[in-house]
């Protein structure tokens, strides 16, 4: 079963996850999510596979979050829409294999997927 990695090459954690994925020998597909923005339904599926609420996928350290969303109390649907419209808000890297997804920011998380 192939792995999808939602990747941002300017992120060191994403580059590390991609290198580990390459070493693993697993088949994978790279999705540069800033260029190929996941649709609303795709984001909903990712959140479900992660087993989290949409807000937990939001990068609250991003400038746009602080300027535009930091003081808002949005619904799950509104957070999904915000991430779709502003993909820089999406945590990275996300790896999806079948019905399982992880945010691959640590070696331990990556080990769970492999």
Per the annotation, the verdict on 11 as an active-site residue is yes
Separation CA 24–CA 104 (nearest Å)? 14
Q: Which of 82, 77, 81, 80 is nearest to 65 (CA)?
A: 82
What contacts 52, CB < 8 A, 6 or more positions away?
none
Which member of 11, 16, 34, 109 is catalytic? 11
Give the CA-trace dihedral at 32, 24, 91, 45, to 10 degrees: 80
* Catalytic site positions: 11
């Amino acid at each position: 079963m192939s792995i999808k990695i939602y990747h941002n090459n300017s992120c060191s954690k994403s580059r590390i996850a991609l290198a580990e994925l390459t070493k693993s020998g697993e088949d994978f597909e790279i999705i540069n999510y800033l260029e190929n923005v996941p649709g609303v339904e795709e984001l909903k599926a990712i959140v479900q596979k992660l087993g989290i609420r949409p807000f937990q996928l939001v990068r609250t350290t991003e400038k746009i979050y602080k300027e535009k969303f930091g003081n808002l109390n949005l619904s799950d649907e509104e957070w999904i829409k915000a991430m779709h419209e502003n993909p820089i808000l999406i945590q990275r890297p996300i790896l999806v294999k079948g019905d399982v997804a992880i945010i691959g920011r640590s070696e331990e998380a990556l080990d769970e997927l492999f």
